[in-house]
């Protein structure tokens, strides 16, 4: 009962932040998808060549070093979260957190938009197996960390510059705990990307190689 009340209080206090950050992220997704149409034919051809080599590598089973794949994937995800964590501890970092959320959305929107625009249904299938599964965890973790970082940054402003009373230790530990839990979830995502994603991508790449060649 107490836990439910705490959750309700948390959502009441942070709902506006979640909506705001969510809108920023979705705006980034739309922007990334629109950017696909702004590419020149030469740029599209260059990306197509890169993807063609990538699809061939996947089909040939080049990505078999799961340890290296896990380390690279986990390092990429954890750096993103740690940057948000550091920015949240500085007031000037607050707008940069929003920029990171926008960029993350733009990357996803561009990736999916290009695959679908260039390869039609096979591209959508590839996006569903290579982009969607891990982002079901990555995106919520990113948004939760961002909201927590923004809330903590606002708390710092009130605590330091507006001379309001309140404890600093508890919000800081809650902030660090959120980042730690997100890091654990992202480790699981990295394992998925290292062990499962290559197998799933290999199912779809034959269709894409035919179109790209």
DSSP string spanning 106-138? HHHHHHHHHHHHHHHHHHHHHHHHHTHHHHHHH
Collapse the DSSP code of 69 into the 3-class scheme (helix H, G, I; strand E, B; otherwise coil) and give the result: helix
Q: How far is CA 70 from CA 77, 78, 189, 203, in A?
A: 11, 12, 9, 21
Task: State the pLDDT at residue 181.
Answer: 94
Structure-model confidence comparison of residues 58 and 72, the more confident one? 72
pLDDT tens profile 191-211: 999 888 888 888 888 877 776
Task: State the pLDDT at residue 207.
Answer: 78
pLDDT tens profile 112-130: 999 998 888 888 988 998 8
Look up residue 107 and give its two tokens.
């990357």
SS3 content of the chain, % helix, strand, coil (to 5): 90, 0, 10
Q: How confident is the model at residue 102 (pLDDT cuts 50, 70, 90)?
A: very high
Nearest to 97 by CA among 43, 148, 54: 148
Domain count, the chain: 1
Residue 12 CB neighbours (<10 A): 9
pLDDT tens profile 79-94: 999 999 999 988 788 8
**Has residue 146 got a pLDDT over 90?**
yes
Task: State the pLDDT at residue 33.
Answer: 94
Identify the weakest region by mean pLDDT among 38-47, 54-63, 95-104, 199-208.
Answer: 54-63
Q: 131: domain range?
A: 2-212
**Has residue 3 got a pLDDT over 60?**
no
Task: State the pLDDT at residue 184.
Answer: 94
Q: Give the global pTM.
A: 0.88
Task: State the pLDDT at residue 165.
Answer: 56
Average pLDDT of the segment spanning 127-147 = 93
């Amino acid at each position: 009962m107490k836990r439910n009340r705490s959750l309700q209080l948390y959502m009441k206090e942070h709902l506006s932040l979640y909506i705001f950050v969510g809108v920023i992220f979705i705006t980034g997704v739309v922007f990334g998808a629109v950017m696909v149409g702004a590419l020149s034919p030469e740029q599209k051809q260059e990306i197509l060549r890169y993807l063609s080599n990538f699809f061939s590598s996947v089909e040939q089973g080049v990505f078999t070093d799961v340890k290296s794949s896990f380390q690279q994937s986990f390092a990429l995800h954890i750096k993103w979260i740690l940057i948000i964590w550091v920015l949240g501890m500085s007031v000037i970092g607050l707008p940069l957190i929003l920029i990171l959320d926008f960029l993350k959305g733009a990357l996803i929107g561009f990736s999916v938009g290009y695959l679908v625009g260039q390869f039609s249904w096979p591209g959508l299938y590839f996006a569903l197996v290579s982009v969607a599964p891990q982002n079901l965890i990555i995106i919520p973790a990113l948004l939760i960390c961002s909201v927590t970082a923004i809330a903590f940054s606002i708390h710092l402003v009130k605590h330091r510059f507006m001379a309001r009373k309140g404890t600093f230790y508890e919000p800081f530990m809650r902030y660090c705990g959120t980042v730690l839990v997100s890091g654990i979830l992202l480790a699981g995502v990295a394992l998925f990307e290292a062990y499962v994603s290559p197998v799933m991508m290999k199912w779809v790449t034959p269709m894409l190689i035919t179109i790209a060649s």
